Amino acid sequence: MRADHSAPLRLDSQGWLGSPAVRRPSPNFDARPPGAAVDLVVVHAISLPPEEFGGSGVECLFTNSLNADEHPYYAEIAGLRVSAHFFIRRDGELIQFVSTEDRAWHAGVSCWRGRERCNDFSVGIELEGCDTVPFEPAQYERLCELIAAIRARYPSVRDVVGHSDIAPGRKTDPGPCFDWTQLRRVV
């Protein structure tokens, strides 16, 4: 599926995208703290199994339906309770797991601009990818559209950063193959 540019992406008042996004609700979220303003977008990269693309592993992980017997790596992570607001596949397909009004569990132990617990004030976007393979043009297109929609809904967003920026030493994603120059040129 290529990015559909027929209409701009738009978040509704409940924090959900309509078409072309696919909705796959995750149980791994909770309410943001009272008064928490969304002012950060965190870009991640994930592939399950590691460095393999196109399967259902990420969706299964974020919906607590990962079968530990399907792959040796899955046995190590099957008990994790994590999510992100969005997942962008290699072909630009966009899946939403959590409303942007809620706190997805994507950042873990994190800090940005002196504030800890980045999940409280951020939107998490996972790209299907890894540290060793460049991302696809369709992913950058969709990511730019998505960030524009997030900024339209939350004008307080001032930073777009990588997971590695908010959890240095603990996380490396989106990794050295992510083209920040290309993203910043558009965003």
Q: Catalogue the active-site residues.
A: 126
Helix/strand/coil percent split, the chain, to 5:
25, 20, 55
Q: Single out the residue of 158, 165, 156, 166 nearest to residue 36, CA to CA.
A: 156
Site of tokens 């072909």: 91
Token couple for 104: 């997805």
Tally the C-alpha atoms within 13 A of residue 32's C-alpha that lie toward its C-beta.
20
Q: Please say whether the beta carbons of 137 and 96 come within 8 A.
A: no
Alpha-carbon span 172 to 45, nearest angstrom: 9
Q: Which residues have C-beta within 8 Å of that of residue 89, sequence separation ≥ 6?
A: 1, 53, 54, 95, 128, 139
Alpha-carbon span 173 to 130, nearest angstrom: 7
Provide the b/e sequence for 62-84 (b: ≥16 CB within 10 Å).
bbeebeeebbeebeeebeeebbb
